[in-house]
Amino acid sequence: MSKNIIAVVTPVYNGEKTIGSSINSLLSQTFNDWVSIIVNDGSTDNTKDVLKKYLHDDRFIIINLEENKGRPFARNIALEKVKDINAKYMCMLDADDLYYPNKLEWQYDYMEKNPDLTLMSCSLGYINENYQLIGVLDSYSEEKIYHFKDFVKYKGVPHASSIIRAKDIEDTKFDLKMTLGEDQDFMNRLLINRKYAFIPKIGYLYNRVDSFSIKKYKKSLKLGIYSSKKQGYKSATIFKLIIINQFKLLYMRILFLIGKENIYFKKIGRTPTKSELIYHNSILTIKPLNTPHS
């Protein structure tokens, strides 16, 4: 395969209703030198049948696991395949999310122009069940390049919207214990002593539908502490994080109890600009992102 290929990794579990839209957004890319690695993680719905139509397309590598092993396991299976095909870059595309049509093209160009970067991430657009753009998550308000030297001072960027230089992954794998937050834990270990960039431009659309619950939030906080301990945080810092997490959890419980959870959701990200909304709506009009590719 081409030495410049981008491997797009998609773990999926019971994604029959959404994965067609995700694949369609990949097939609509202005950059064509990609291969899709889909790991069907023991789905019990019709996901396997949905994927059959792509089995004879050389752009797709579909791996069907007999039983559900969890996202970290599925992602590690995909990582091995990324190495096998000698991809130059790796990107992520979850089975219920979408790409804007030029996402891979401008990320590829940026990485080619900055060969010292291990990773470049961009803004996430939040969409609802009607694929309307309802919010934008920016890690930074302007383009920045960083050298990650300290875990405590590191400010995370989205994993989902990132492009990663494959050779830098080396032996880094997803921690099988991290059933939530495995992506940021992976990035922390991948980026230490390396350079990464963030650009406040939407390239990836994140489906917020059914993506949050108190149970998942509590578990993610607990696993975040586990990840911090593993990375060598000092005991005083760990204790501080535990206290902060308890206040976060209490705050979320109160909001959900009084039916005001939207207060929290509104604080995550910002309101889309007029130009972002115009562009997003034009994409939906020209090629509906919720229409499976035929």
Architecture of domain 6-211+270-286: Alpha-Beta Complex (3.90)
Instruction: Decide the pairing of beta strands 6-12 and 34-41.
Output: parallel
Q: Using CA of residue 181, residue 85, residue 27, residue 60, what is the dihedral sign?
A: negative
What spatial distance separates the first Cα and last Cα of the chain, rounded to whole Å?
25
74 has a pLDDT exceeding 90 = yes
Evaluate if residue 38 carries a pLDDT over 70.
yes
Show contacts of 106-111: CB within 8 Å, 24+ apart: 106/201, 106/203, 107/163, 107/203, 108/4, 108/6, 108/31, 108/163, 110/163, 110/197, 110/199, 111/163, 111/165
Mean pLDDT for 101-125 is: 97
Burial of 30 from C-beta contacts in 10 A (0-12 / 13-18 / 19+): exposed
Each residue's pLDDT tens digit, 230-275: 777 778 888 887 888 787 778 778 877 787 766 665 666 789 999 9
Which residue is it, tokens 């130009």? 275
What pLDDT sits at residue 292? 44
The pLDDT of 8-32, averaged and rounded, is: 95
User: What's the pLDDT tens digit per position in 131-155?
Assistant: 899 999 998 889 989 888 765 566 7
Domain ranges of the chain: 6-211+270-286, 214-260
pLDDT digits (tens, 9 = 90+) for 80-89: 999 999 999 9
Give which of 152, 5, 159 is closest to 83, Cα–Cα.
Answer: 5
Can you give the pLDDT at residue 290? Answer: 46
How confident is the model over 35-45, as a mean pLDDT? 97
Q: Global pTM?
A: 0.85
Average pLDDT over residues 200-220: 78
What integer pLDDT is reported at residue 125 of this predicted model? 95
